[in-house]
Structure formats: C-alpha cells, structure tokens
Amino acid sequence: MNRRSRAVAQRARARPAHLVAFDLLRHVGTELLSWSYAERRAASSSLFQGQGLQAPWALTP
C-alpha cells in the first residue's frame, strides 16, 4: 500500500472502516467475564446510548 498521506486519505474515504461490537468484556478497568451475556449486552447497549455512538461504530442487533 502506498503510504503517502494523500493516497491513504483517498483510500480511507473510498473504503471507510467500521467497528462492529458484539460483546463487552472489560470496561473502565473492570473485567466483565463473570457477568452473564444478558448483563454484558445491557451494559453494551447502555454504553452505546450514553456515549451517543454512531457510524463508524455499530452494535450488532
């Protein structure tokens, strides 16, 4: 890949990246692995809503 800044910027605009989250395993230094999936999912949803996250961030349905 050409690493010149103009070429990188053009490619990023042409093919933007998105982060798709499906689980929350750790948050603010707290490990959540002992939580049930339903509890982690509720925390993920709350985090997304509370932070007003939107594209390029996505929480799987």
pTM exceeds 0.85 for this model? no
**C-beta of residue 48 within 8 angstroms of C-beta of residue 61:** no
24-34: pLDDT as tens digits: 899 899 999 99
The whole-number pLDDT of residue 52 equals 85
Choose among 31, 55, 57: nearest CA to 43. 31
